[in-house]
Structure 1
Amino acid sequence: MTTPDYWGARTVRVEGGIRARSTRGAIGESWWSKRFLAVLESFALGTRLTRGRNYARAGQVLSLDIAPGTVRASVQGSRPRPYEVTITLAVFPDPAWAAIEQALAAEALGAAKLLAGELPPHVEDVCLAAGAPLFPARLADLAMRCSCPDQAVPCKHLAATFYLLAERFDADPFDILLWRGRARDALLTALRTIRAGSHFEALAEDEPEPSTAEMPSPIGTAGALANLPEPDVEIERFWLSPVPLTDPVPSHATERDLLLRQLPPPPPELGGAEALRRLRRWYRPRS
């Protein structure tokens, strides 16, 4: 009779598996991965999480793939054939994503962080306001399946997948949004489009130029200026500082074209992406 792996059988060690970067202590570095694991660990799953963390650090997870709504992994246990793991989470409906994109695009700093590859902390609040929580709030929000004989859910194979998933979120926060149904390119394209449209709408709403009847007479203006008293200043010293200036404190150095990389491409009538490429050359330091 074969002893099932959850009853103490020896785990088949593998080479070339996905090994957690963390070797001890907590797993997860960024706020979003810590937030994700905090939700998981709040379910009080006991030693299964500890054993799953050991599996993740031992490299027992052979593959890990993230797609909209579904995470799939292959985990080697004590049997010759690896176990197949699936974790599903509902994707956001299109109206929710539309509201999220509008809110993110309206806030310049948050949009800039996303365009630079960073997940701003307020994105969780934005999702909540759209009626679409970014992280699962209950164990029932996740549909989990493993092909192992262990009846516990989650088993250690699922737990190992969760920990490596958190480290994947550390490396690329857009994987969280992909799991909820929006790929990086689609989200960033939507943000650029919304921000570009808002810019041109603001230009169109500017006040019209005043009519000729409303403009002051040049002769009257010149006469009024001629009657002003002479200024009581030394013109030669007007642009000089009254006290000696110290050298400025060095600021944090960054790449010169950072701003250009955060801005959306200009519209076609202003040159499009080619104009942005030409501008970037002027920001680069000369050798």
Structure 2
Amino acid sequence: MSGPTRPTTPPDDQRDASATWWADRWQAVLASAGPADARRVQRGQAVARRGGVDDLDVRPGRITGRVAEDRVSPYRVQLSWPVPDEDAWSAAVVALAAEVRSTAALLDGRLPQDAEDVLADVGVRLVPAPGDLQRTCTCTERTQWCRHVAAVHTAAGMAFARDPFLLLLLRGRTRDELLRALRAERGDAPVTGADLDLSHGLYAARADIDAVVLSPHPVDDPGALLLHLGDPPGVDDPWPVVKLIERAAETAWRLAAGDGAEAADEELLLAELRAHRVGTAESLATALGRDVEDVRAQLDGLFEVGTVLRTGSGARTRYRAP
């Protein structure tokens, strides 16, 4: 037997407020389209929410995507924003390193809201002003705010809600590059085993193991320790490893919270959908050997919380994992 388990889940707004705030700041740029383009913007937002943007790609200085709209040749959209120069980024690192709270949040894997003002003061803005973005589309509409541009802009905001550090990438720095620069500026040494605090909880227990009361709770950033320790040997880019850690931690927490078989089934379903890239409830049910109605219900539930995208209706409904 084991000791009692009392998982506690923090409110969603506490866990996701920062990411949502950055996404909202990005989406607010759409208001600059003005009344003349308001209808196009609304149509583009609807297209994005239906999963109509493919191949969204965020890179330093540009965002690209394709909007099909049932066409054989999709419209190609690019949002361009010149990245700050090296001097500006050097000043940004110094400014951030001087702000203990901002640095702590970044090292903990969060992009704090107050970083916007700190960075803007040295010429590195993370959210564009209305005239900053150059917008191009291969459609024939003579406006910079066609529905396809609005769709890609909206899809980018949805991506920023999932990972606000993509805003840093757009401005010319990956999360890992910024963290390395901050550590170098502050003279921080990598964390070692001697630095870990093991003086509480389970490690301080002196009774029988069955008497230990477990009160697990999800952490803000499961990959933070890996980033604190530095790059693993032979790994040039730790970000894919961090993502795997985050997914493993999410699944582990849901299992601990009692979701058990449902969480495991969902993970298998998402893995199969990613392997297919695009799939129907029927094709995924066949691949997994599960009841098609159960799979469809689970996919629709994942769509409602934004985990998967959905297009079409009825038997032609298709799902895609972003």
Q: For residue 46 of structure 2, what is the aligned residue in structure 1?
A: 54
The alpha-carbon deviation at position 262 of structure 1 amounts to: 9.0
Larger helix proportion, structure 1 or 2? 2
State whether structure 2 residue 23 is matched by structure 1 residue 33: yes
Structure 1: which 4+ aligned runs deviate by more than 4 Å? 251-255, 262-266
The alpha-carbon deviation at position 87 of structure 1 amounts to: 0.7
Letter in 2 for 1:196: G
TM-score calculated relative to the size of structure 1:
0.58
The number of residues matched between the two structures is 187
- For 1:8-47, list aligned pairs within 5 A: 30-44=20-34, 45-47=37-39
Letter in 2 for 1:129: D
- For 1:249-264, list aligned pairs within 5 A: 253=217, 261=225, 264=228
Deviations 1:15-58 (A, max 9, x none): xxxxxxxxxxxxx9611111111122233231111100110122
CA gap 1:36/1:102 in 2 versus in 1, 3 angstroms: same
Q: For residue 178 of structure 2, what is the aligned residue in structure 1?
A: 187
CA gap 1:254/1:158 in 2 versus in 1, 3 angstroms: closer
Counterpart CA distance in 1 for 2:100 and 2:80 is 33
- Say which SS state the counterpart of residue 83 (structure 2) adopts: coil
State whether structure 2 residue 164 is matched by structure 1 residue 173: yes
- Say which SS state the counterpart of residue 190 (structure 1) adopts: helix
Contact 2:79 2:133 in 1 (8 A): yes
CA gap 1:124/1:29 in 2 versus in 1, 3 angstroms: closer
Letter in 2 for 1:137: A
The alpha-carbon deviation at position 105 of structure 1 amounts to: 1.6
Q: For residue 145 of structure 1, what is the aligned residue in structure 2?
A: 136
- Say which SS state the counterpart of residue 65 (structure 2) adopts: strand
The alpha-carbon deviation at position 150 of structure 1 amounts to: 1.6
Letter in 1 for 2:118: V
Q: Which ranges of structure 1 fall in alignment gaps of 5 or more residues? A: 1-27, 199-250, 267-287
CA gap 1:178/1:79 in 2 versus in 1, 3 angstroms: same
Contact 2:30 2:150 in 1 (8 A): no
The alpha-carbon deviation at position 132 of structure 1 amounts to: 2.8
Counterpart CA distance in 1 for 2:132 and 2:227 is 37
Deviations 1:139-172 (A, max 9, x none): x311111111222211111101111101111111
The alpha-carbon deviation at position 126 of structure 1 amounts to: 1.1
CA gap 1:134/1:149 in 2 versus in 1, 3 angstroms: same
Contact 1:169 1:176 in 2 (8 A): yes
Deviations 1:214-272 (A, max 9, x none): xxxxxxxxxxxxxxxxxxxxxxxxxxxxxxxxxxxxx99566x98x8398449xxxxxx
Contact 1:89 1:143 in 2 (8 A): yes
TM-score calculated relative to the size of structure 2:
0.52
Letter in 1 for 2:99: E
Contact 2:40 2:147 in 1 (8 A): yes
Contact 2:19 2:164 in 1 (8 A): no
CA gap 1:94/1:177 in 2 versus in 1, 3 angstroms: same
